[in-house]
Amino acid sequence: GPDLSAWGRKPALGLRPSHPACGCDWGPAGSAPMKNAVINIQTENPGRDHIVWSLFNTLFMNICCLGFVAFAYSVEVDQKMVGDITGAQSYASTAKCLNVWALVLGLLLTITFITVFGTGSGPSALPPCPCCSGFAGFWLPAGSNS
């Protein structure tokens, strides 16, 4: 192995000691230090892209096209992850916000629809059939009452 006996002692003639493992010389004591280049590689995840949630909202809760717009932003998150982490985080945040609004508005509209048309207290969904006496008669051919 390398000789470690001189390591830690003062160097002779103003030279810095050589590195014990590789033997490289660090140069004279008065020389400028070597500059090291540091490259920061960001491996952080910009977060979730919410693509499954956006697809659900596009198919089932697409109030004012919010689900579709959220889906478009979610797809952009995947494309921006390659080089623009900040942009990907921004798009992911926008997709999440749009998904929340689409879900809340979709649920409110569904609850309102069920409340108004499902309880019978609001206007009926379909007008009664003029040829029979009941709501069910609307779906049956004329002349059949059952």
For the chain, the structural domain boundaries read 51-118
Which residues sit opposite 83 in a β-bridge?
none
Which segment of 17-21, 51-55, 106-110, 113-117 scores lowest on mean pLDDT?
Answer: 17-21
Q: How confident is the model at residue 63 (pLDDT cuts 50, 70, 90)?
A: confident
Q: Which residue has the higher pLDDT, 81 or 5?
A: 81
Question: Would you state the pLDDT for residue 82?
Answer: 78
Q: Which of 130, 62, 134 is nearest to 99 (CA)?
A: 62
C-alpha distance from residue 39 to each of 36, 42, 87, 124 (Å): 10, 10, 21, 68
Question: Would you state the pLDDT for residue 87?
Answer: 87
Q: Give tens-digit pLDDT for 22-61.
A: 656 555 555 555 667 777 665 556 568 889 999 999 999 8
Alpha-carbon distance of 57 to 72, in angstroms, equals 12
- Amino acid at site 89: Q
Q: What is the DSSP letter of 133?
A: S
Q: Give tens-digit pLDDT for 73-109.
A: 999 988 877 778 888 889 999 999 999 999 999 999 9
Q: Helix 51-60 vs helix 66-80: angle between axes, to the nearest 10 degrees? A: 160
pTM: 0.52
Q: How confident is the model at residue 68 (pLDDT cuts 50, 70, 90)?
A: very high
Phi-psi region of 20 (alpha: psi -120 to 50; beta: other; left: phi over 0): alpha
Q: Is the pLDDT of residue 114 over 60?
A: yes
